[in-house]
């Protein structure tokens, strides 16, 4: 799943690919505060592939303000560049829930009607 606010901040602020958001707060309906840093990945065990935030590089911690209008523009730009629907990200279905018995539950994407293409 693409984290659009993180993707927009990385592009806007020219952040390295390893930089990731670890905290976000909606300040109101128009702005979001994002905090992130560079943290290594776990290489073994049950958390393999996840970020090890206990070992993050504290010199790379930064906080950014992102307006909701910037998020909307970034999503529109991504859809235009890729030709994919941002809701389902081109799959045609979106996650709607999870249960222990059945696992992940999906339904047809409402935005693109299951085509996976941006409109």
Model pLDDT for residues 77-99, shown as the tens digit of each residue: 999 999 999 999 999 998 899 99
42 plus 52 within the same structural domain: yes
28 plus 57 within the same structural domain: yes
62 plus 37 within the same structural domain: yes
| 8-25 mean pLDDT | 94
Q: Has residue 7 got a pLDDT over 90?
A: yes
pTM of this structure: 0.82
50 plus 31 within the same structural domain: yes
* Among candidate residues 87, 97, 95, 93, the one with its CA nearest the CA of residue 119: 87
* Number of independent structural domains in the chain: 2
**Span between the terminal Cα atoms of the chain, in Å:** 20
Query: What range defines the domain where residue 99 resides?
Result: 83-119
15 plus 68 within the same structural domain: yes
66 plus 100 within the same structural domain: no
pLDDT of residue 29: 87
């Amino acid at each position: 799943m693409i984290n659009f606010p993180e993707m927009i901040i990385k592009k806007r602020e020219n952040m390295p690919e390893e930089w990731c958001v670890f905290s976000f707060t909606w300040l109101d309906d128009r702005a979001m505060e994002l905090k992130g840093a560079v943290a290594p990945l776990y290489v073994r065990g049950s958390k393999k592939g996840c970020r090890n935030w206990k070992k993050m590089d504290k010199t790379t911690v930064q906080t950014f303000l992102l307006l909701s209008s910037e998020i909307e523009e970034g999503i529109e730009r991504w859809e235009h560049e890729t030709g994919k629907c941002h809701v389902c990200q081109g799959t045609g279905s979106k996650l709607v829930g999870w249960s222990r018995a059945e696992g992940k539950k999906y339904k047809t994407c409402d935005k693109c009607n299951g085509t996976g293409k941006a409109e």
